[in-house]
């Protein structure tokens, strides 16, 4: 394997790591946003519960149901994003691992030997020469 090939693989690994990091950061931002919305919903519950208790309408908890449903949705969204984050990390880690394992294997392979030069003979004097390298015969000077 040539150094170029191993450098290309190393470059691909670095690119994959950068893409993984970017995707995970984006997902973490989504997760943080969901958590923020969830916290706001809890504040909303607290405010509504306080208002209800001050008005002494303990039977009016139905007004909180919409907020409860919102929190349940946030919990579902949060679980989905967390799972997506884990899945992406696992896929990228697997691909990076595979490429990192290829580098030593490729470096351990010997470079292929160049093909042996083809030998030919001068039609004038019969002296041998390397086909494609010599233009004139070294024995008689004839054009090859």
Tell me the per-residue pLDDT of 31-45, one tens digit each, with 9 for 90 and over. 999 999 999 999 988
Across 82-91, 104-113, 134-143, least confident range:
104-113
Per the prediction, the chain carries an average pLDDT of 86
CA distances from 38 to 81, 129, 137 (A): 14, 84, 88
Yes or no: say if 144 and 136 are a contact pair by the CB < 8 Å rule.
Answer: yes
pLDDT interval class at 1 (50, 70, 90):
very low
Give the three-state DSSP class for 91. Answer: helix
Exposed / middle / buried, residue 117 (Cβ in 10 Å: 0-12, 13-18, 19+): exposed
Winning range, highest mean pLDDT, from 19-28, 54-63, 101-110, 135-144: 19-28
Contact between 84 and 4 (Cβ < 8 Å): no
Residue 112 clears pLDDT 80, i.e. is over it:
no
Question: What digits encode the pLDDT tens for the residues 10-29?
Answer: 899 999 999 999 999 999 99
Tens digit of each residue's pLDDT (9 = 90 or more) over 42-68? 998 888 877 776 665 555 666 678 888
């Amino acid at each position: 394997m040539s150094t170029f090939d191993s450098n290309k693989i190393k470059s691909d690994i670095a690119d994959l790591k950068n893409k993984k990091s970017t995707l995970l950061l984006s997902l973490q931002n989504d997760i943080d946003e969901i958590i923020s919305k969830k916290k706001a919903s809890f504040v909303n519950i607290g405010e509504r519960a306080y208002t209800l208790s001050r008005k002494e309408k303990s039977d009016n908890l139905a007004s909180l149901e919409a907020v409860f449903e919102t929190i349940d949705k946030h919990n579902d969204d949060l679980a989905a994003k967390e799972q997506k984050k884990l899945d992406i990390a696992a896929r990228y880690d697997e691909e990076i691992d595979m490429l990192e394992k290829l580098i030593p294997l490729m470096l351990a392979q010997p470079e292929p030997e160049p093909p042996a030069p083809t030998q030919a003979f001068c039609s004038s004097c019969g002296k041998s020469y390397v086909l494609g390298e010599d233009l004139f015969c070294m024995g008689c000077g004839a054009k090859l």
